[in-house]
Amino acid sequence: MRLLLIEDDDRIAGPLTEGLGRYGFTVDHVRTGSAGIVGADGSPDLVLLDLGLPDMDGLDVCRSLRARSAVPIIMITARGEEADRIVGLELGADDYLAKPFGVRELVARIRAVTRRTSGALPFPAPAHQAAPEAPGPQLLGSLELNRRTRQVHLSGAEVQLTPREFDLLAYLAEDPGTVYSRQQIMDTVWDPHFFGPTKTLDAHVAALRRKLGDPAWITTARGVGFRLTVPGHDPEPGVAGCPDAS
Ligand code: CA
């Protein structure tokens, strides 16, 4: 697996390249944002992007990379760059890691992001549960969600979602109307052992609401989590034609 590391600080890039090499990753290292954008044309499997770069804002690099390809992006940020992290996730980065971090932690994030963005289930499923996906797209009012092609159409027009935004929408759409807790969502859409602040979830929900053109698609169950609601339709659960025989 080939990684593109965009990081100007050799004291970080050196040990990182060496450490990732021990895990079997090949690392192409560049020190500027512009070199990173050029390097991304070489189709790396994943980009590690430092936000504090000498020649351009890391967020602009993120935007530029995302405009060109769906390559998974993990941002590397310094402490105190929380606002930047949220903006970066909205721009389409898949995850972030705050300095300082260990190589093992980074490798875990790389694997988690790769599993998600390759369209695989977030964690291994038993073989007998293979191919649980419905073959056709799921229709939710004016929204069409196709898990096989990972495409979303709204009133016939394709909506461009990042891999994580798609996973989040697809998860909530598994049972429209049902409230999924923040932890359930983090465990399923992010990582089975996600820990730490879940502001990234709010950023993704905000991005989805914006892209779907109506905040009513995802409603907040205050203090609990979120649910998918088809705007204009009765969100009440329990009317899905499953009579209780008792
Ligand atoms: Ca830097």
The CATH code of the domain that includes 218 is 1.10.10.10
Count of the separate structural domains present in the chain: 2
What percent of the chain is modeled with pLDDT above 90? 45
Is 127 contained in some domain?
A: no
Distance (Å) from CA 5 to ligand 1 centroid: 11
Look at residues 85, 116, 147 and tell me which one is the last residue of a structural domain: 116
Beta partners for residue 5, in sequence order: 29, 48
Beta pairing partners, 2: 26
Is 177 among the domain residues? yes
15 C-alpha to ligand 1 centroid (Å): 15
- Clarify whether residues 172 and 210 are in a common domain: yes
Can you give the CATH number for the domain in which 83 is found?
3.40.50.2300
Rounded to whole angstroms, the Cα distance separating 110 from 104 reads: 10
C-alpha 8 – ligand 1 centre gap (Å): 5
Region class of 232: left (phi > 0), else alpha (psi between -120 and 50), else beta: left
Angle CA 184–189–193, to nearest 5: 65
> 244 in a domain, yes or no?
no
pLDDT given for residue 245 in this prediction: 41
91 with 145, same domain? no
111 Cα to the center of ligand 1, angstroms: 23
- Compute the mean pLDDT over every residue in the chain, rounded to the nearest whole number: 83
Q: Whole domain around residue 227: which residue ranges? A: 138-239
Domain boundary among 81, 116, 151: 116
Q: Specify the pLDDT at position 98.
A: 84
Residue-wise pLDDT tens digits, 193-220: 666 667 889 999 999 999 999 999 999 9
Same domain, 155 and 82: no
Centre of ligand 1 from the C-alpha of residue 202, in Å: 26
- The pTM is what? 0.51
The mean pLDDT of 78-95, rounded to a whole number, is 82
For residues 173 and 88, membership in a common domain is answered with no
